[in-house]
């Protein structure tokens, strides 16, 4: 870790993500001289390639704006680079590297042949017109296109990148390459997209949480659920939790959270989808429309009493104090939809209180798994039904849960999902790297 920090200064999120894996794997690696000799973990923490580029574009006033674009191609040992693109003002190299590092292990856990990558830009889509977003996406891809391809690197969505942005990026990519391939996932259903890809991350989190709850004879039925975020992952985590009989009482965005004591229902959720995906509004408008709900500006939902918490917004959104309030309020399960939403202090509080706690790389893997299924369908030029994809998604999430149980069960029977996911994800990548020599 000391070497890694010295080589990658000022990258706290990257250090945090690697440290967690190092801590899980230390004894495992110490016991295996071959892993040490081949410097597998050291190589995994060094990106195979980092691309940083200028993204100039014209705003609606005709002025030039300049953003910075990134693609971190972390690891290609088990398949082409694969991972989302994030457009958010906070994007920097540290965040790209932490996400690409976690993606490598996550993609391995899915059992599908995908390496790890992440990309994005500090472009902030908030308040931009559709035309501005399109011009930005076109400029972004005009550089990125030479580094990606269906057998090289396959981007998808993440924060700030949904169906609209994938459409603009895919359109420009297709134009530059003059070929129609599955180089992006999350495409529209009529032009190469997979059924259930929009739902997959959120649904997958609930499938995974359901498996965790079942280890204690529990289920979603009748449980109170708090969710952060109100974007893609949050919306479909809420939808599946409702279908499984839970009561979802919060949603949030970067400005605050709403608490609805009556809980969400189908109509309210449809309103949220319209508000966020079409009108691109703020979650506080929910409380204006449903007067029983209350809006808490500038706050996160972790002080609300719940049985199950699903953080679905961003990294480090649950700190030690938030974790303590969740525990004090009787929360039994924290299933991460976002990537690295819990700080190390929060994770240690969950562990010492024996909560069911799953790290994002295990419980949010349903999104990229379904991206992998989209790649398979594109290669075969076929389309599976919603039911077929759902069945595969369920079985992938159950399998990841089994892997976590296998490698994460401690002497007292407590399942440490962090350890389980890190060891389970690492093994396949490590075996491939050992077989492929010093590359």
Dihedral class, residue 39 (left if φ above 0, else alpha if ψ from -120 to 50, else beta): left
Between helix 93-109 and helix 12-30 the angle, nearest 10°, is 40
Closer of 90 and 329 to ligand NDP (Cβ): 90
DSSP three-state, residue 81? strand
* Shortest distance (Å) from residue 405 CB to ligand NDP: 22
User: Is the Cβ–Cβ distance between 109 and 424 less than 8 Å?
Assistant: yes
Cβ-proximal residue to ligand NDP, closest one: 231
Pairing of strands 256-259, 247-253: antiparallel
**Which of helix, strand or coil describes residue 406?**
helix
H-state helical runs in 112-195: 130-144, 163-177
Nearer to ligand 2IT, 233 or 249 (CB): 233
Nearer to ligand 2IT, 139 or 185 (CB): 185
Which is closer to ligand 2IT, CB of 132 or CB of 158? 158
Minimum CB distance to ligand NDP, residue 300 (Å): 8
Instruction: Residue 230: name its binding partner from ligand NDP, ligand 2IT, none (Cβ under 5 to 8 Å by kind).
Output: ligand NDP
Distance CA 33, CA 107 (A): 26
**341 Cβ contact list (under 8 Å, min separation 6):** 228, 311, 312, 313, 314, 315, 316, 317, 318, 360
Here the tokens at position 395 are 């079985």
Contact 84, 155 (CB under 8 A): yes
**Binding residues among 99-158 for ligand 2IT as defined by CB under 6 A:** 103, 106, 156, 158
**83 makes contact with ligand 2IT (CB under 6 A):** yes
Binding range to ligand NDP, per CB under 6 A, among 6-14, 24-32, 336-344, 397-405 = 336-344
- If one asks whether residue 157 binds ligand NDP (CB under 6 A), the answer comes out as yes
Asked if 230 interacts with ligand NDP (CB under 6 A), we say yes
Contact flag: residue 336 with ligand 2IT (CB under 6 A): no
Residue 83 partner contact from ligand 2IT, ligand NDP, none using kind-dependent CB cut-offs of 5 to 8 Å: ligand 2IT
Binding residues for ligand NDP, rule CB under 6 A, total 25
Q: In 3D, which of 149, 151, 94, 152 has the Cα closest to residue 120? A: 94
Nearest to 248 by CA among 228, 265, 263: 263
Only segment of 12-20, 151-159, 322-330, 398-406 that touches ligand NDP (CB under 6 A): 151-159
Q: Does 368 bind ligand 2IT (CB under 6 A)?
A: yes
CA–CA separation, 162 vs 82, rounded Å? 16
- In terms of C-beta distances under 8 Å and separation of at least 24 residues, what long-range contacts does 30-39 make, across chains too? 34/434, 35/430, 35/434, 38/433, 38/434, 38/438
Of the candidates 280, 139, 308, 301, the one whose C-alpha atom is nearest the C-alpha of residue 219 is 308
Interacting stretch for ligand 2IT, rule CB under 6 A, among 6-14, 286-294, 327-335, 363-371? 363-371
Q: Is the Cβ of residue 40 or residue 91 nearer to ligand NDP in the bound state?
A: 91
CA atoms within 13 A on the CB side of 287: 18
Residue 363 is a binding residue for ligand 2IT (CB under 6 A): no
| Per-residue tokens: 382 | 């076929």
371 makes contact with ligand 2IT (CB under 6 A): yes
Pick one of 115, 120, 155, 160: the residue that binds ligand NDP (CB under 6 A): 160
Catalytic center residues: 118
Residues 38-97 touching ligand NDP, rule: CB under 6 A, are: 88, 90
- Beta carbon of residue 277, minimum distance to ligand NDP (angstroms, whole number): 8
Total residues contacting ligand 2IT by CB under 6 A comes to 12
> Of the two residues 84 and 218, which places its CB atom closer to ligand NDP in the complex?
84
Enumerate binding residues for ligand 2IT (CB under 6 A): 82-84, 103, 106, 156, 158, 185, 339, 367-368, 371
Enumerate binding residues for ligand NDP (CB under 6 A): 88, 90, 157-160, 162, 201, 229-234, 253-255, 312-314, 337-339, 364, 367
């Amino acid at each position: 870790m000391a070497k890694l920090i010295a080589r990658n200064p000022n990258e706290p999120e990257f250090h945090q993500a690697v440290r967690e894996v190092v801590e899980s794997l230390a004894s495992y690696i110490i016991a295996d001289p071959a892993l040490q000799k081949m410097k597998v973990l050291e190589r995994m923490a060094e990106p195979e390639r980092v691309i940083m580029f200028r993204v100039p574009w014209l705003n609606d006033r005709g002025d030039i704006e300049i953003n910075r674009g990134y693609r971190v191609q972390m690891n290609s040992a088990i398949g082409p680079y694969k991972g989302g693109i994030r457009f958010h003002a906070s994007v920097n190299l540290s965040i790209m590297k932490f996400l690409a590092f976690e993606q490598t292990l996550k993609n391995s856990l899915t059992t599908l042949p995908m390496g790890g990558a992440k990309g994005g830009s500090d472009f902030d889509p908030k308040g931009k017109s559709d035309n501005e977003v399109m011009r930005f996406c076109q400029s972004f891809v005009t550089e990125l296109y030479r580094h990606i391809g269906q057998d090289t690197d396959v981007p998808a969505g993440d924060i700030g990148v949904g169906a609209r942005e994938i459409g603009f990026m895919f359109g420009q990519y297709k134009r530059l390459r003059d070929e129609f391939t599955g180089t992006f996932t999350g495409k529209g259903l009529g032009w190469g997209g997979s059924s259930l890809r929009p739902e997959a991350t959120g649904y997958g989190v609930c499938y995974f949480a359901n498996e965790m709850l079942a280890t204690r004879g529990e289920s979603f039925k009748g449980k109170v659920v708090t969710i952060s975020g109100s974007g893609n992952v949050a919306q479909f985590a809420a939808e599946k939790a409702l279908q499984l009989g839970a009561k979802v009482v919060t949603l949030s965005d970067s400005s605050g959270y709403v608490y609805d004591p009556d809980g969400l229902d189908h109509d309210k959720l449809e309103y949220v989808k319209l508000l966020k995906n079409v009108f691109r509004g703020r979650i506080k408008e929910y409380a204006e429309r449903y007067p029983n709900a209350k809006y808490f500006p500038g706050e996160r939902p972790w002080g609300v009493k719940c049985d199950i918490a699903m953080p679905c917004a961003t990294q480090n959104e649950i700190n030690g104090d938030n974790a303590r309030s969740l525990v004090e309020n009787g929360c039994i399960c924290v299933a991460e939809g976002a990537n690295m939403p819990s700080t190390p202090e929060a994770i240690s509080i969950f562990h010492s209180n024996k909560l069911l706690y799953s790290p994002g790389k295990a419980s949010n893997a349903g999104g990229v798994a379904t991206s992998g299924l989209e790649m398979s369908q594109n290669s075969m030029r076929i389309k599976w039904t919603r039911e077929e994809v759902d069945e595969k998604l369920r079985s992938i999430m159950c399998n990841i849960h089994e892997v976590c149980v296998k490698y994460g069960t401690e002497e007292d029977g407590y399942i440490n999902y962090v350890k389980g996911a890190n060891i389970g994800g690492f093994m396949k990548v490590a075996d491939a790297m050992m077989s492929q020599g010093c590359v």
